[in-house]
Structure 1
């Protein structure tokens, strides 16, 4: 496997864990959700979870790119890194609305902090 594709595959895995932790914490704040199908519908349609769609969208783009047979270029990897850093940091001119909600949740869950650290390390390796 091409080195950039390997790095982005690891990043995609890390992002799935991060996303899962974010959904878990947001669900705790939301309250009872019912069945798994009702939970999925809430995550995709309810305004409480809408801010997560920015991260979900980037994850989808990354997965689609990884499914492509063409080798991933360093420029593409850097573009994904920059887009993610606009959301989760450390990019100063990032998405302030997303970042505010994200940073607030970072204080509430050690599992989220661990997932965040893992993604930050993976992003830092893309140079």
Structure 2
């Protein structure tokens, strides 16, 4: 199953991508109830309730794209890409592939993460 979504930001795509890929800011935009800590150069240990998974992350800076996959769950992966949006802002496109989660749950988690990312970007981009 593939879930996609697009989200608008007032900041330029490079600023959004910077917030998305900054290891010190990951906790600010993860969905509520989800935490992560570094487990290696391109790996995070992600916790949601009693579930812990290892997420492998790769960035493609020239394309403003982040790719991820769960190390222990084949088939669960996704991409997040920032591109130019209206009025100098960004449009962020998210794709999540997962064989075992309902689309409504995935959309809710992605929507929560994007709302939190928007708040973090807006707080930092528009700060004094």
- Bin the TM-score by the shorter chain: 0.3 to 0.5
| Higher relative helix content | 1
RCO (CA 8 Å, sep 6+): is it higher in 1 or 2? 1
Greater share of residues in strand: 2
Report the structure number with the largest CA radius of gyration.
Answer: 1
